Chain A
């Protein structure tokens, strides 16, 4: 294996820094705007990146105008519920599909694949009518339900379980372990990486979803953060500082969560979970 030459290293790091500026730069610009005081001109040319007199005032003010913290709590409720239902539902279904033999297994697997072919966007109107008939419109339950067990997550879990060596489970069978014990004590601990990937996907999906909560929630008290921010955008575009503070509140928790779990995420994704 040839060693990376000095020139190539420099070239690669320069490119990496350029991409870093393009991908993370906008977030930093927004963060900086959110700390600029009302006396500071945010429209200077050339643009000034660092706030002259950093202040947290915008965060207090945005919360005065729009109940962002309540919206964040709604989003958190929805996201945590979605993570729990997806972890439970996708791992049990994935285990059954990968490890148990039964009549109708192929058909059940096919149902999840078929579900991937139907875009959620083409179902929202029917889902909306259905939630109305169930008297669930305008509730957080209605926001969670359609994504409670994602078909993609079931398939990810099935692939992960299929990759666990059979011998370990056979040994457990000989030792007299029942299905539930094999599932919880042997299979689940072996696929922690994929569980982390499913958890991250479920959390992000629920926290970031926009179209469905926009359709199903009508009462502004029940808004999730994304729907509430859209409202903020429309009403207070005049002051970018406030919008910036609102977006930082929406983005920061996810970035922190992802930073903590990214080790598992990249390992889980690299383990072949997303293979073509």
Chain B
């Protein structure tokens, strides 16, 4: 192509770009109204209304009620910190706190790591992978009640798991009869149900890891384990932090899995009660202690918030160290 032609083309390109800029500037300068000032608020109205009515307002009520002795049908009087003092003396509260804390500590490492491995497994383009991805998502789709019913039947003394154990020559294990085994079973159920959900989050992150990094490491002679540790993990680190935050918050407010496996009273002598189970049990019903339950709710809120901050902070620290390392 002649140099003159190239120059002419460039001028033409610049021209189009300039004209577009002028047109845009014109729109702004002439004050063309892109929308009526009320329009954004009309569009936001349904969302904000639901938010105000069913999140903000109940939150304020919870804070207020936490300092009263309100009951379901009786408006409460201000009692200051009494609910919180009662909590310290409430044996069930400490059991619930212990169980919820254990839940976070034991469930989170598995939900951070296992779904990542699963995502790596289905990330590869091989025939039938679409089917496997969708199939692994089934436990997420199924309601927690249905899933808990399936597992309580499988973990029953005469259920599938014990049937397999027996066929292998091992004695029956009373998964749901012992308060500790029941709690661990509920945790396993939580991890199992969350696998697909976190797998999808990791898949989105893996899609952004440049393939070249893996190839370069492979050329340098790094094996699969080495590549996982030095290429994959650093690349999806921020996603691991996100998954850690999400799963620790949801683990600290666990309700359904334990409620369904252990029953409304929280297993033998209430030993399997969690914090939210305690909220539900004390705050509802005709004679519910709304004030006390609100104080418990506030504790759940504060713990969730602290966990979120803690995990995010740990993640930021890690990333900063990462940057230092690269320098």
Contact = CB atoms under 8 A, between A and B. Distances in A.
Contact of B145 (A16, A210, A258): A210
Contact of A30 (B34, B35, B56, B153): B153
A270 B203 contact: yes
Interface in B100-148: 118, 121-122, 124, 126, 130, 132-147
A107 B56 CA distance: 14
A262 B51 CA distance: 29
A250 B143 contact: yes
B149 A210 contact: no
A173 B294 CA distance: 51
* Chain A binding surface, main DSSP class: helix
B47 A226 contact: no
B55 interface: yes
A119 B249 contact: yes
Contacts of B263: 234
B24 A275 contact: no
A112 B55 CA distance: 10
Interface residues of B, number: 103
Given A16-B132, A47-B160, A276-B241, A119 B300 contact: yes
A23 interface: yes
Nearest to A127: B58
B25 to A, nearest CB: 12
A197 to B, nearest CB: 10
Interface stretch (A53-61, A146-154, A188-196): A146-154
A51 interface: no
Contacts of B55: 115, 118, 123, 146, 151
B144 A210 contact: yes
Contacts of B171: none
Contacts of B35: 100, 178-179
Nearest to A179: B35
Contacts of A149: 46-47, 50-51
B1 interface: no
Given A23-B195, A47-B164, A130-B61, A12 B121 contact: yes
A162 interface: no
A262 B279 CA distance: 36
B228 interface: no
A215 B47 contact: no
A93 B57 contact: no
Interface in B50-76: 50-51, 53-59, 61-62, 65, 72
B242 interface: yes
Given A126-B294, A127-B58, A276 B37 contact: no
Contacts of B37: 102
Nearest to B61: A126
A122 B132 contact: no
A240 B48 contact: no
A1 interface: yes
Q: Which among B51, B249, B276 has the highest number of chain A CB atoms within 10 Å? A: B51
A230 B152 CA distance: 12
A161 B281 CA distance: 42
A226 B58 contact: no
A115 B57 CA distance: 11
A233 B57 contact: no
B239 A208 contact: no
A19 B24 CA distance: 55
B34 A179 contact: yes
Contact of A145 (B50, B149, B150, B239): B50
B280 interface: yes
Nearest to B39: A179
B256 A210 contact: yes
Nearest to B283: A125
A251 interface: yes
A16 B158 contact: no
What are the 7 closest A-B residue pairs judged by CB atoms, nearest first?
A93-B47, A126-B58, A208-B143, A46-B167, A122-B297, A89-B46, A96-B43
18 contacts: A46-B167, A93-B48, A100-B39, A100-B43, A102-B37, A111-B51, A112-B47, A128-B284, A174-B23, A208-B143, A211-B256, A229-B146, A250-B142, A254-B141, A262-B134, A262-B137, A266-B203, A276-B241
Given A1-B211, A102-B37, A269-B204, 19 more contacts: A12-B126, A26-B160, A29-B160, A46-B163, A90-B47, A93-B43, A100-B39, A102-B40, A119-B253, A129-B61, A151-B51, A170-B27, A173-B32, A210-B256, A247-B150, A251-B146, A258-B141, A262-B133, A270-B204
